[in-house]
């Protein structure tokens, strides 16, 4: 079963070195995260898998790495200065700031048609502040999401040095269309891919790394003849869906959602969102838009754009004339994809039934926690939180010991931890969990931060240690990310590697010294086989390829 709450992932990520809150030493900075030793490996693997699939394995793609800082005029003519905004509203009572379109959607279960529709609902007091419940909200107004910065040593307070941290990597591709076309002698259709940081001053970031102000995009602009755009668009939708599924996302957690007319960006003719069923619900992983010829025209010299020095167009040999290609844009987030792989790969299950009396004791504690929640008034627990905790307590108590993994997930819930008796529940659950549950990250071998871990059966046996270290070194040279570990008993070491998603563990034992074979243990089947050292690198590489 994939993760049922983001807390499970946040807790694992922090505990095992995937993701840490940024600048925690100084109290942190809201919604910014640092990828730790395992997180950087995982995210790099996601980016590498994407690059390999969309650049190296195709004949119609080139790569690019454009600068983050660009001439401000790029953002003027792309339309971002005028329109890249979200509607924002303030609560007059508690002063919290919210995305007004999200409050509207939560209330009416549909997107607002316009700013006026949101404001009509605010006037009718139909929308409430989710923080304090007040319906005294200010009218929604557009809030531009681009971060401003100054270029050059002098801040004159004027706009002369003004630049933006790019809010998407796409524009770097559009303004380089002519450079790539000329230098690589490309014919239509062809595309340009880029991975890089993007920045948005989101009004309501949140859900861990799902929505942050600094993030990484993996974007493609694919240029086609007008008229060939619709077929190319559909082909990219299918290709990109398959990429996620091939790397392990369960099909039932992946869907394509056609954007409705009123959702479409001003440049888009059609857009399909690839969505993943995150623990907080279906949410966008990647948007695949048909941007028509909007961008190449917008950045070409014309009466509407006297600042551009040239035209972004293509000489079509067949028609013997210049045309402006249409653009298909599969735009993915590296952080969101990484989070989706973590959620989908997460698996915590009961592997051994605890003794009946221990289960009964835990059930009693959970029921007492439920009673304690029941007693709290709205000042202490928001009604929605109270309802959620009560439902969780009831479901867990009824299903123990099978619901032990759900209880362990609840252990990371900040609201549950505010109830005194929960400390006791948590302590007991964690002790039982340690012995009776198994946490495994079922990541695709190509994505796992560590591909293979090597253990000696005994750490005080120099010949085993020496051979183990040598095997680790050889595998590393063979291009497999490997680690050596002798800091615990084999069972404990397996457990540790399962939790971070290592697909293969190798144990070096006394037989290895005699016949040059080792035990290879598979994370998912837990099956073990003896493999000769001569075949080891090749056998493992074939499973990762
Ligand atoms: N060039 C088109 C474009 O930028 P988008 O839908 O705004 O389209 C594309 O962004 C992808 O970038 C999203 O599907 C998501 O994966 C990622 N993304 C966007 N905003 C994000 C944020 N605040 N935090 C993390 N990822 C984000």
SS (H, E, C) 43-79: HHHHHHHHHHHHHHCCCCEEEECCCCECCHHHHHHCC
* Structure tokens belonging to residue 31: 């919604």
Q: Which of 241, 284, 338 to probe ligand 1 with, by most ligand atoms within 8 A of CB?
A: 284
Phi/psi of residue 331, nearest 5 degrees: -120, 110
Is the distance from the beta carbon of residue 336 to the nearest atom of ligand 1 less than 6 Å?
yes
Task: Note whether 57 and 186 are within 8 A (CB).
Answer: no
Averaged pLDDT for residues 92-116: 91
Q: Environment class of residue 142 by beta-carbon count within 10 Å: exposed (0-12), middle (13-18) or buried (19+)?
A: middle
Query: Ligand 1 centroid vs 221 CA: distance in angstroms?
Result: 15
Distance CA 540, CA 239 (A): 27
The reply to whether ligand 1 has any atom less than 6 angstroms from the CB of 330 is no
User: 333 alpha carbon to ligand 1 midpoint, in Å?
Assistant: 6
Q: Is the pLDDT of residue 1 over 70?
A: no
Start-end of H helices in 254-316:
294-298
Element (H, E) at 219: strand 214-224
Q: Is the pLDDT of residue 3 over 90?
A: no
- Find, among 146, 126, 144, 136, the residue nearest to 96 by Cα: 136
Q: Is 450 helix (H, G, I), strand (E, B) or coil?
A: coil
Is the CA virtual torsion 100, 102, 106, 110 positive or negative?
positive
CA of 411 to the centre of ligand 1 (A): 31
- How remote is the CA of residue 194 from the centroid of ligand 1, in Å? 14
CA-to-CA distance for 257 and 211, rounded, in angstroms? 19
Q: How confident is the model at residue 158 (pLDDT cuts 50, 70, 90)?
A: low
Phi then psi dihedrals of residue 440, to 5 deg: -130, 135
Residues 244 and 44: their CA atoms lie apart, in Å, by 16
Chain center to CA of 27: 24
- Higher model confidence: residue 113 or residue 440? 440
Question: Does the CB atom of residue 196 touch ligand 1 within 6 A?
Answer: no
User: 66 CA distance to ligand 1 centroid (A)?
Assistant: 17
Stretch 436-453: mean pLDDT: 96
Query: What pLDDT is attached to residue 156?
Result: 65
- Give 490 Cα–ligand 1 centroid separation in angstroms: 42
Contacts with 465 (C-beta within 8 Å, 6 or more apart), sequence order? 456, 459, 486
Strands 190-199 and 61-64: parallel
220 lines ligand 1 (CB under 6 A): no
Tokens, residue 509 = 């034992």
What's 2's DSSP letter?
-
CA of 173 to the centre of ligand 1 (A): 16
Does the pLDDT value for residue 488 go beyond 80? yes
Question: Cα–Cα–Cα angle for 275, 276, 278, nearest 5°?
Answer: 135
pLDDT digits (tens, 9 = 90+) for 368-416: 999 999 988 877 788 888 888 999 999 999 999 988 888 888 887 888 9
Q: How much is the pTM?
A: 0.90
Q: In 401-427, which positions are buried (b, 16+ CB within 10 angstroms) versus exposed (e)?
A: bebbbbbbbbbbbeebeebeebeebbe
pLDDT surpasses 90 at 33: yes
- Quick check: CB of 217 below 6 Å from ligand 1? yes
Q: Tokens in use for 56?
A: 């190296």
Q: How far apart are CA 342 and CA 339, in angstroms?
A: 5
Mutational pocket test of ligand 1: of 85, 143, 168, the residue with most ligand atoms within 8 Å of the beta carbon? 168
Residue 94 phi/psi, 5° resolution?
-105, 0
pLDDT at position 250, please?
A: 97
Quote the radius of gyration of the chain (alpha carbons, Å): 27
Answer for the pair 200, 86: CB distance below 8 angstroms, yes or no. Answer: no
Determine if the peptide bond prior to 35 is cis (ω within 30°).
no
Give percent helix, percent strand, percent coil of the chain, each to the nearest 5.
Answer: 40, 25, 35
Dihedral sign, Cα of residue 180, residue 186, residue 187, residue 190: negative
338 CB near ligand 1 (under 6 Å): no
Distance 199 CA to ligand 1 centre (A): 10
CA of 275 to the centre of ligand 1 (A): 12
Question: What's the CA angle centered on 361, arms 359 and 362, to 5 degrees?
Answer: 65
Query: Per-residue b/e over 268-294, b at no fewer than 16 CB within 10 Å?
Result: bebbbbbbbbbbeeebbbbbbbbbbbb
| Residue of 197, 206, 336 to test ligand 1 pocket, by largest number of atoms within 8 Å of CB | 336
Name the residue at shortest CA distance from atom 12 of ligand 1: 333
Q: Are 255 and 282 in contact (CB under 8 A)?
A: yes
> Is any atom of ligand 1 closer than 6 Å to the C-beta of 286?
yes
- The HSE-up count of residue 76 (CA atoms within 13 Å, CB side) is 11
Residue 160 has pLDDT above 80, yes or no: no
* 312 has a pLDDT exceeding 90: yes
Average pLDDT over residues 131-154: 91
Nearest atom in ligand 1 to the alpha carbon of residue 331 is 9
Quick check: CB of 167 below 6 Å from ligand 1?
A: no
38-47, 66-75, 155-164: lowest mean pLDDT where? 155-164
Ligand 1 in reach of 176 Cβ (< 6 A) = no
Q: Is 86 in the pocket of ligand 1 (CB under 6 A)?
A: no
Helix residue ranges per DSSP H, 376-438 = 383-399, 404-410, 422-436
| Residue 287, ligand 1, Cβ within 6 A | yes
Cβ-count burial 216-231 (b if 16+ within 10 Å, e if not):
bbbbbbbbbbeeebee
- The confidence band for 8, taking pLDDT boundaries of 50, 70 and 90, is confident
Q: ∠ CA 461-464-468 to the nearest 5 degrees?
A: 140
Is any ligand 1 atom within 6 A of the Cβ of residue 80?
A: no
In this prediction, residue 111 carries a pLDDT of 87
- Cβ–ligand 1 distance for 33 under 6 Å, the answer no
287, 289, 327, 330: residue to mutate for ligand 1 pocket, most atoms within 8 A of CB = 287
Atom 19 in ligand 1: which residue has the minimum CA distance?
333
Tokens at residue 72, please?
Answer: 């401000």
DSSP-derived secondary structure letter, 229: H
Residue 135 has what DSSP assignment? -
- Residue 155 scores a pLDDT above 70: no
> What average pLDDT does the chain have?
94
CB 373 less than 6 A from any atom of ligand 1: no
Q: Is the CB of 332 under 6 A from ligand 1?
A: yes
Q: What is the mean pLDDT of the segment spanning 288-309?
A: 97
The answer to whether the CB of 506 falls within 8 A of the CB of 493 is: no
Residue 530 pLDDT > 80 = yes
Q: Is the CB of 215 under 6 A from ligand 1?
A: yes
């Amino acid at each position: 079963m994939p993760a049922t709450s983001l807390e499970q992932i946040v807790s694992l990520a922090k505990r095992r070195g995937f993701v840490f809150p940024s600048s925690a030493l100084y109290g942190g900075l809201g919604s910014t995260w640092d990828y730790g030793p395992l997180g950087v490996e995982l995210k790099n693997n996601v980016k590498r898998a994407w690059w390999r699939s969309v650049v190296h394995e195709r004949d119609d793609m080139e790569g690019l790495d454009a600068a983050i800082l660009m001439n401000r005029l790029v953002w003027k003519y792309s339309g971002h200065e005028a329109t890249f905004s979200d509607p924002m509203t303030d609560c007059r009572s508690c002063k919290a700031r919210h995305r007004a379109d999200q409050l509207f959607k939560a209330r009416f279960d549909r997107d607002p048609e316009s700013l006026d529709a949101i404001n009509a609902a605010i006037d009718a007091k139909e929308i409430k502040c989710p923080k304090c419940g007040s319906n005294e909200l200010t009218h929604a107004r557009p809030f531009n999401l681009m971060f401003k910065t100054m270029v050059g040593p002098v801040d004159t307070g004027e706009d002369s040095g003004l630049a933006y941290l790019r809010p998407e990597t796409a524009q770097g591709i559009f303004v380089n269309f002519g450079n790539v076309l000329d230098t690589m002698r490309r014919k239509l259709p062809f595309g340009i891919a880029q991975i890089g940081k993007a920045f948005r001053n989101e009004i309501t970031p949140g859900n861990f790394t799902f929505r942050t102000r600094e993030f990484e995009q993996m974007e493609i602009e694919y240029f086609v003849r007008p008229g060939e755009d619709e077929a190319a668009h559909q082909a990219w939708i299918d290709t990109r869906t398959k990429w996620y599924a091939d790397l392990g996302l369960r099909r039932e957690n992946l869907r394509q959602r056609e954007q409705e007319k009123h959702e479409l960006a001003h440049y888009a003719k059609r857009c399909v969102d690839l969505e993943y069923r995150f623990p907080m619900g279906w949410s966008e992983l990647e948007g695949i838009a048909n941007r028509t010829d909007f961008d190449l025209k917008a950045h070409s010299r014309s009466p509407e754009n006297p600042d551009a020095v040239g035209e972004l167009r293509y000489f079509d040999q067949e028609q013997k004339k210049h045309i402006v290609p249409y653009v298909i844009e599969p735009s993915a987030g590296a952080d969101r994809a990484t989070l989706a792989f973590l959620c989908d790969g997460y698996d915590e299950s009961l592997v051994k039934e605890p003794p009946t009396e221990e289960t009964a004791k835990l059930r009693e504690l959970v029921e007492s926690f439920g009673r304690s929640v029941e007693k709290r008034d709205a000042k202490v627990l928001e009604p929605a939180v109270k309802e959620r905790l009560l439902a969780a307590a009831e479901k867990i108590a009824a299903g123990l010991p099978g619901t032990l993994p759900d209880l362990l997930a609840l252990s990371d819930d900040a609201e549950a931890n505010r109830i005194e008796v929960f400390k006791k529940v948590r302590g007991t659950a964690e002790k039982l969990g340690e012995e009776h549950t198994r946490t495994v990250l079922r990541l695709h071998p190509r994505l796992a931060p560590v591909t293979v871990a090597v253990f000696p059966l005994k750490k005080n046996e120099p010949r085993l240690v020496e051979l183990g270290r040598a095997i680790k070194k050889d595998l590393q040279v063979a291009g497999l990310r490997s680690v050596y570990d002798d800091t615990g008993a084999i069972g404990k070491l397996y457990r540790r590697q399962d939790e971070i998603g290592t697909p293969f563990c190798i144990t070096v034992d006394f037989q290895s010294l005699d016949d040059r074979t080792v035990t290879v243990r598979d994370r998912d089947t837990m099956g073990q086989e003896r493999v000769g050292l001569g075949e080891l690198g090749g056998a493992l590489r074939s499973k990762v390829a």
